[in-house]
Amino acid sequence: MDYQAPSSQRRRCRRPLLLGACVLILLIVVCVCLGVAFGRRAAGPSNDRITGNFTTAIISKCKQFLGDENSSENKCEEVWDAFSKAYVGKDPCEVPMEAYDPLMQTVREKDACNRMLFWSKTKDIVHQFTEAKKCLLTLEDTLLGFVMDGQTWCSEKGSKETFTTGCPSWDKCERNPVRSFWNRASEAFAQAACGEVTAMLNGSISTPFNNNSIFASIEVKKFSGPKMRALNVVLVKTGNDTATCENDSLQTLQRVLNPSLKYTCKEVQRSKILDCISDPDRPCGDCW
């Protein structure tokens, strides 16, 4: 008959076998993980970081905005070229506002006198309003604003590519490509302000006119006459919000505003604006 070792001896024999099996499994897992990691690194940037995809998306949105306007002065390929030259190949924290100057000169926008709507901390309701009512338009309703809204982009020093991930956040560095673009586009939009201009500010916060906002730090500083005649503030309130048109920050707004411009302020309940948005036959003048 076959020899069978005592149970105590069999247990002693199994221990090194089990230990060896565990070590082997651990080595296999480590190798697989390293292989995946190195494989991804060797494959280079993921598809959403490849320039071509972003290029196609931007040109496509540009053409969507222009629609059938074959006579438009704006050519989407030229817009892309001017836009990309502002940041491609540059340190993502060293793209100044001025880098987008050629882009601003490339794009032609129609005059929108008496229809321009600025905003601060009211983006959602403002865009609900302009989508439903065509009487006013925001920066995001212009060609550049429409195309770039919600986009993220950057490059690297010496690179020829555009990246849409791994880019600096808004507050990480002041001269990042996204922040510089919106600052420059906002400046251009404000410089074009003409006639009576509307600004929708948030009455649910303590400082509706915040010095750190784009509206305060850039746009208001570019408002000037005689092309622009007045600034009409709509203070959007919810329920019993305490902010009023007498708010200290709005007093500051009046002081820093170009003295040649007329200033008005009106407190409006958010619910009233939403009711107006939902009624297609209601004229814009009745919304506040």
- What confidence tens digit (pLDDT) does each residue in 164-186 have? 999 999 999 999 999 999 999 99
List the catalytic residue out of 113, 135, 173, 284. 113
CA pseudo-torsion sign 145, 151, 156, 161 = negative
What span, in angstroms and rounded, lies between the C-alpha atoms of 23 and 28?
Answer: 9
113 is catalytic: yes
Per-residue pLDDT at 152: 96
Residue 170, pLDDT score: 96
Residue in this structure with the two tokens 């600025």, named with its chain if needed: 118
Task: Indicate the pLDDT class of residue 242, thresholds 50, 70 and 90.
Answer: confident
Q: Domains in the chain and their CATH numbers? A: 48-286 (1.20.82.10)
Q: What pLDDT shows up at residue 69?
A: 63
Under the banding of pLDDT at 50, 70 and 90, the label for residue 26 is low
Question: In which element (H, E) is residue 105 found?
Answer: helix 101-106
Identify the pLDDT of residue 51: 58
pLDDT at position 68: 66
Residue-level pLDDT at 72: 77
CA distances from 84 to 80, 92, 156, 171, 187 (A): 6, 13, 12, 22, 19
pLDDT at 18 over 80: no
The torsion angles phi and psi of 216, rounded to 5 degrees, stand at: -80, -45
> What is the share, in percent, of the chain residues with pLDDT greater than 70?
81
Longest dimension (CA), the chain: 113
Residue type at position 284: C
Higher local confidence (pLDDT), 194 or 280: 194
194 in catalytic set: yes
Kindly tell me if the per-residue pLDDT of 47 is higher than 60: no
Averaged pLDDT score across all residues of the chain: 86
Tens digit of pLDDT for each residue in 189-234? Answer: 999 999 999 999 999 999 999 999 999 999 999 999 999 999 999 9
Catalytic residue among 93, 135, 194, 245: 194
How buried is residue 134: exposed, middle or buried, by Cβ count under 10 Å (0-12/13-18/19+)?
exposed
- If pLDDT is split at 50, 70 and 90, which confidence band does 29 have? very low
Q: Check whether 31 has a pLDDT greater than 70.
A: no
Is the per-residue pLDDT at 257 higher than 50?
yes
Question: Dihedrals φ, ψ of 262, to 5°?
Answer: -75, 145
Q: What is the pLDDT of residues 68-96, one digit of tens each?
A: 665 578 999 999 999 999 999 999 999 99
pLDDT digits 0-9 by tens, 36-46: 343 333 333 44
* Per-residue pLDDT tens over the stretch 87-126: 999 999 999 999 999 999 999 998 999 999 999 999 999 9
Residue 240's pLDDT is what? 87
State mean pLDDT over 52-57. 89
